[in-house]
């Protein structure tokens, strides 16, 4: 993955952002050493941004699509008040096994409810409202996730979508995922139900709320 801002700026931003707790430093090292495609882990900058969004919005119920090794789920859980919940979905049983080992060691692990299976199927079984919905699973389903997320979103809730700049490939889409993200961005931009902004954080993060 090529970040949108130069690597030296990315590193500078990370150095001047609140550091990760030791457990998430360990999870990050372990993910890079032992999991396929470790670059999927969102990381310190985006995780800390998610924490700000949760605290500023007063979110209590969070839904995540795309848990991977549980990094962003743990970051979000840590920002929630007591009684807050992160429901998080992933299709990969290996990711669930990995993430569980770290949820069990986290002081915020009890707030996290992992669901195994295709995220769209899981979303069909869920009842809203969710205050914040973080979309970070397979890119080809982004528009489907968005449409169901709007049904599950609380009034005044926030949808956060990762990888919307896709290493810049949205400018010249070539494969299925490139085209899906470009089509998703166009779909949201033309949707009169919402307002949205794309932040050039990491690989592009879109914030969406109902008008």
Ligand X SMILES: C[S@@+](CC[C@H](N)C(=O)[O-])C[C@H]1O[C@@H](n2cnc3c(N)ncnc32)[C@H](O)[C@@H]1O
The CB-of-43 to ligand X minimum distance in angstroms stands at: 7
Tokens 């769209």, located at residue: 120
Contact with ligand X (CB under 6 A): which of 24, 79, 136, 148? Answer: 136
Q: Report if residue 90 touches ligand X, rule: CB under 6 A.
A: yes
Cα Dmax for the chain: 45
What is the number of the residue whose Cβ is closest to ligand X? 42
Closest to 98 measured CA to CA, from 38, 175, 177: 38
If the CB atoms of residues 25 and 195 are measured against ligand X, the closer one turns out to be 25
Closest to 124 measured CA to CA, from 152, 153, 162, 96: 152
Cα–Cα distance for residue pair 59/151, rounded to 1 Å: 17
Cα–Cα distance for residue pair 73/5, rounded to 1 Å: 25
Q: Report if residue 38 touches ligand X, rule: CB under 6 A.
A: no
Q: Report if residue 145 touches ligand X, rule: CB under 6 A.
A: no
> Which of these ranges, 4-12, 19-27, 61-69, 183-191, lies near ligand X under the rule CB under 6 A?
61-69
- Which 177-206 positions form the footprint of ligand X (CB under 6 A)? none
Answer for the pair 180, 139: CB distance below 8 angstroms, yes or no. Answer: yes
> Which of these ranges, 35-43, 100-108, 146-154, 192-200, lies near ligand X under the rule CB under 6 A?
35-43
Contact with ligand X (CB under 6 A): which of 41, 63, 152, 164? Answer: 41
Tell me how far CA of residue 34 lies from CA of 31, 38, 69, 87, 100, in angstroms: 5, 8, 11, 25, 15
The CB-of-128 to ligand X minimum distance in angstroms stands at: 18
Site residues (CB under 6 A) for ligand X?
Answer: 40-42, 66-69, 71-72, 89-92, 95, 118-119, 136-138
């Amino acid at each position: 993955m090529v970040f949108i801002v130069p690597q030296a700026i990315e590193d500078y931003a990370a150095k001047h952002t609140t550091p990760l707790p030791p457990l998430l430093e360990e999870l990050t090292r372990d993910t890079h050493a032992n999991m396929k495609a470790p670059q999927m882990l969102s990381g310190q900058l985006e995780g800390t941004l998610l924490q700000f969004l949760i605290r500023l919005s007063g979110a209590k119920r969070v839904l995540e699509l795309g848990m991977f090794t549980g990094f962003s789920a743990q970051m979000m859980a840590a920002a929630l008040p007591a009684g807050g919940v992160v429901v998080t979905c992933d299709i990969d049983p290996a990711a669930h096994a990995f993430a569980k080992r770290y949820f069990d060691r986290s002081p915020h692990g009890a707030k996290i409810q992992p669901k195994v299976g295709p995220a769209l199927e899981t979303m069909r079984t869920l009842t809203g409202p969710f205050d914040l919905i973080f979309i970070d699973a397979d890119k080809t389903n982004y528009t489907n996730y968005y449409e169901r997320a709007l049904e599950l979103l609380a009034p005044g809730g926030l949808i956060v979508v990762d990888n919307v700049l896709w290493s810049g490939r949205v400018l010249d889409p070539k494969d299925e995922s490139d085209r899906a993200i470009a089509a998703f961005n166009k779909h949201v931009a033309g949707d009169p139900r919402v307002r949205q902004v794309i932040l050039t954080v990491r690989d592009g993060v879109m914030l969406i709320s109902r008008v």
